[in-house]
Chain A
Amino acid sequence: MTEVLEAPSALDERLRVLRRIAIVPAYNEEDSVGRVLDELRAFDPGLEVVVVDDGSTDRTADTARARGAHVVRLPFNLGIGGAVQTGFRYAWEHGFEIAVRVDGDGQHDPRELGAVLEPVLADEADIAVGSRFSGRNGYRSSRSRRIGIRLLAWCVSALTRQRITDPTSGFQAANRLGIRLFAADYPHDYPEAEATVMVFKHRLRLQEVPVAMRARETGRSSITALRSVYYMVKVLLAIFVALFRRKAVPLE
């Protein structure tokens, strides 16, 4: 148990020597992105931040620039997968050694980053994912959504032969290997479940970490009731097909 007690200071040491970046995808999040950036700075002042503005029509980019973040503006909305991949490309090309993804809508609490980073810093995982459902829980969502996530979790767990409780979580940390994979290929529309299978196919190590997530501060989830059925089918098809691919893409 001494390890647990020593963890906070040890973590800082390991993190401080690395070039590290937070990838913040944001689509019309002018009301929440500022707070997310402030909280990221509070967590770690040396953490660089790139906000990927996915074709917002509000002042998301200005808000982010005013707080000193790098801002990559996409000329039109690519969807969350394309935006996140842009962030990982940025991290890869600029030589960052560790990257975390924290969504601009505020549902990922930067104070939980220590927990999400831990497996990667300890070199126990190439990619760590914050899960709302493994262990402590502060998360409520609609019944249909929970059922959908559980079904997806069951499929992804069976395919990867590893217990995955929250296959839709985008609260991720990645080392250089993980950054390289996600820069080369990140799935589209509703990408996290497929990305999990992809990580498994590339034999990278993925670990889930229990975290508390917040309810969205502003805006609505991009997944509405009717669309969720369509996404469900699409994602199940995608992860099923992904199994028959040898490797997602040749890595550079």
Chain B
Amino acid sequence: MTPWRVSIAAAIASVLLILVVFELIRSRRLRERYALLWLLTGVVLLVLSLWRSGLNTIAGWFGISGYPPAILFAVGILFILLVLLHYSTVISRLSDQSTILAQRLALLEERLGDERQEHRGG
């Protein structure tokens, strides 16, 4: 069985994660779109740390009999991987968009420069 202290510490950590994410959304430093995965992480870890018999059962499925909290680590790592993968796709999109913006800006400046020269010439 999971030691009580582990369960309590994990639960507190999960609650803290949820609260921090919530505050970040509230203060507009984090968009809902990017917060959902973090909130899901917090909720899943909270459930697993409080639902002690469930954690045991899940550990059993994976053949972990000695130390059920290992499942907490595994789930935590899985979610971190998901968040990172998600961020990779986001960064790819952002870099595509900033390329387009830079091109648009350069073309606009070029056009403005032309007009200025025309004004001077005329």
Question: Is B25 an interface residue, CB under 8 A from the partner?
Answer: yes
Question: Is A155 an interface residue, CB under 8 A from the partner?
Answer: no
Contact B32 A234 (CB under 8 A): yes
Question: Is B20 an interface residue, CB under 8 A from the partner?
Answer: no
A residues 221-240 near B (Cβ < 8 Å) are 230, 233-234, 237-238
Alpha-carbon gap, A230 to B37, bound state (A)? 11
The size of the chain A interface, using a CB distance under 8 A, is 12
A153 to chain B, nearest CB (A): 20
Q: Of B36, B96, B97, which is within 8 A of A234 by CB?
A: B36
- Could you say which interface size class chain B belongs to? 10 to 19
Contact A188 B104 (CB under 8 A): no
| Residue ID in chain A nearest B22 by CB atoms | A241
Task: Name the B residues within 8 Å of A188 (CB-CB).
Answer: 31-33
Question: Is B39 an interface residue, CB under 8 A from the partner?
Answer: yes
Task: Name the A residues within 8 Å of B39 (CB-CB).
Answer: 237
Contact B36 A233 (CB under 8 A): yes
Task: Name the B residues within 8 Å of A220 (CB-CB).
Answer: none
| Residue ID in chain A nearest B96 by CB atoms | A76
Q: Of B22, B25, B33, B96, which is within 8 A of A189 by CB?
A: B33
| Residue ID in chain B nearest A73 by CB atoms | B104
Question: Is B90 an interface residue, CB under 8 A from the partner?
Answer: no
Contact A241 B25 (CB under 8 A): yes
If the complex has contacts A75-B101, A75-B104, A76-B97, are A234 and B25 also in contact, measured as CB distance less than 8 A? Answer: no
Contact A245 B31 (CB under 8 A): no
Alpha-carbon gap, A50 to B26, bound state (A)? 32
A residues 184-221 near B (Cβ < 8 Å) are 188-189
Task: Name the A residues within 8 Å of B35 (CB-CB).
Answer: 237
B residues 98-116 near A (Cβ < 8 Å) are 100-101, 104
Contact A237 B36 (CB under 8 A): yes
Task: Name the A residues within 8 Å of B36 (CB-CB).
Answer: 230, 233-234, 237
Contact with A along B40-64 (1 / 0, CB 8 A): 0000000000000000000000000
B26 to chain A, nearest CB (A): 5
The 5 closest A-B pairs by CB, nearest first: A238-B32, A241-B25, A75-B104, A244-B26, A75-B100
- Given A233-B36, A244-B26, 18 more A-B residue pairs with CB atoms under 8 Å apart are A75-B97, A75-B101, A75-B104, A76-B96, A76-B97, A188-B31, A189-B33, A234-B32, A234-B36, A237-B32, A237-B35, A237-B36, A237-B39, A238-B32, A241-B22, A241-B25, A241-B26, A245-B26
List, sorted by A's number, 25 A–B pairs whose CB atoms are closer than 8 Å. A75-B97, A75-B100, A75-B101, A75-B104, A76-B97, A76-B100, A188-B31, A188-B32, A188-B33, A189-B33, A230-B36, A233-B36, A234-B33, A234-B36, A237-B25, A237-B35, A237-B36, A237-B39, A238-B32, A241-B22, A241-B25, A241-B26, A244-B26, A245-B26, A245-B28
Residues of A within 8 A of B (CB): 75-76, 188-189, 230, 233-234, 237-238, 241, 244-245
